[in-house]
Amino acid sequence: MTKKTDKVNELEAKVNELDAQLKRAVADYQNLEKRITEGRSELTSFVAGELVNKLLQVLDHLEQATNGATEAEKESGWFKGVELAVKQFKDVLRLEGLEEIQDVGEFNPSLHEAVDVRDMPPSLDSSGIHKDNMILEVIRKGYNLNGKVLRPAQVVVGRSPDNHPERPEGAEG
């Protein structure tokens, strides 16, 4: 009878071991499915970001063309058509999660790329106190796509002449 009991115990142990292996295999498979789904989602987001980034170059050129139009051209039908197309283009991009980065106020290195630094003119500061790192000019608009920076805004940043004394005579810079 001990042989039967030993055999039953051995078979129960084997069943428990196989059951544990099956549970691990199912859990591994479920984890794999999750990783594949996340990977596809990341890939889709990356591809969408790359496509929108390429489309932004087209939008930049269209906006430059409309901004450079003369007053007479702005009254023409073709200009109004192009202006409407640009608005519709922006609306489509907005529906896909594109938002323009705000380019007023203080410089934020996570949203802006400083391409130049200039002394702030006194007329910009009504308080009489100059603040460093204020955005003076936007060179190229920046955009977020679904809450992530797709392209930082290229800006000119102001600095207070009070906080940055003139260079000594003869100094080059």
Mind listing the pLDDT tens digit for each residue in 116-173? 998 876 655 555 555 778 899 999 999 999 999 999 999 999 987 765 555 444 444 4
11-25 burial, b at 16+ Cβ within 10 Å, e below that, comes to eeeeeeeeeeeeeee
Tell whether 170 is covered by a domain: no
Which range marks the domain in which residue 158 is found? 98-165
pLDDT digits (tens, 9 = 90+) for 87-104: 999 999 999 999 999 888
Are residues 92 and 103 both part of a single domain? no
Same domain, 129 and 62: no
Residue 5 inside a domain? The answer is yes
pLDDT at 4: 84
Residue 164 gets which letter from DSSP? S
CB atoms within 10 A of CB 65: 13
Note whether residue 172 is domain-resident: no
Give the per-residue pLDDT at 117.
92
Claim to verify: residue 35 and residue 84 sit in the same structural domain: yes
Does residue 108 sit in the same domain as residue 152?
yes
pTM as predicted: 0.69
Q: Single out the residue in 96, 112, 128 at which a domain terminates.
A: 96
Number of domains in the chain: 2
Residues 80 and 20 in one domain: yes
User: What pLDDT score was predicted for residue 148?
Assistant: 93
Residue 171 lies in a domain: no
- Of 73, 96, 119, the one marking the end of a domain is 96
4 and 89 belong to one structural domain: yes
For residues 172 and 134, is the Cβ–Cβ distance under 8 A?
no
Among residues 96, 127, 143, the one where a domain terminates is 96
Residue 101: per-residue pLDDT = 94
Residue with tokens 């789904």: 37
How do residues 30-49 score in pLDDT, each as one tens digit?
A: 999 999 999 999 898 889 99
